[in-house]
Amino acid sequence: MIAIVDYAAGNIRSVANALERLGAHYEVTADPQRLRSADRVILPGVGHAGRALESLQEQDLFPVIRSLRCPVLGICVGMQVLCRDSEEGPVQGIGIFDAHVRRFPDEADIRVPHMGWNALGNLDGKLFRNIPSGAHVYFVHSYYPTLCSDTTATCRHGSTLFSAALRYENFYGTQFHPEKSGAVGQQILQNFLAL
């Protein structure tokens, strides 16, 4: 069973629809026992990282998420909350990934939020099996995870090269939305389900 974490951070329906297209069985839950017994866990997310972290903290899910040994995928804000900290909120991150979440700088002719299709580079790891370097995926974000030892894919927006994907042990994260990234995103989700 795949558990989609229910913590008031949006895009649960689009992730659920993507899993349904792949024929995967899922459950939307915040129950610690159900999360710990899942075969895979997806931490979705859109919106404000600070509020998402506060919601996870209020539900006492930090220790539950840290304890997971199955493959875990954080998407967009769901990946950002797994980082060390975020400029978007006062609550410290869960601290799985060795990245800090920063706001894109103001630059002439560069739109923030970074919204739309952009190319992936420096792909590494099983999440990107059968995905070519330069493949385009869909982003919607004003904050980004910095480059770090956990970076498994990069993307550039303006002058900023940032972590488009992260991995540490059984934890994976994508700043982009695989559920909104067409055939490339579907392949990435299939790769996650095959881990």
Q: Domains of the chain (ranges plus CATH)?
A: 2-193 (3.40.50.880)
- DSSP bridge partners of 102: 144
Let me know if 54 is a catalytic residue.
no
Helix (H) / strand (E) containing 157:
strand 151-157
pLDDT (0 to 100) of residue 47: 85
For residue 101, CA distances in Å to 124, 143, 175, 180, 184 come to: 21, 6, 11, 22, 25
pLDDT at residue 189 tops 90: yes
pLDDT (0 to 100) of residue 140: 96
pLDDT (0 to 100) of residue 91: 74
Measured distance CA(32)–CA(10) in Å, rounded = 19
Let me know if 83 is a catalytic residue.
no
pLDDT (0 to 100) of residue 35: 98
DSSP string covering 90-153, please?
A: SS-----SS-EEEEPPP-TT--SSEEEEEE-BS--SGGGTT--TT-EEEEEESEEEPP-TTEEE
Let me know if 177 is a catalytic residue.
yes
The catalytic residue among 48, 141, 157, 177 is 177
Residue 179 gets which letter from DSSP? G
The catalytic residue among 48, 76, 114, 141 is 76
For residues 161-185, give the mean pLDDT: 98
The catalytic residue among 88, 141, 155, 179 is 179
For residues 21-31, give the mean pLDDT: 96
Helix (H) / strand (E) containing 28:
strand 26-29
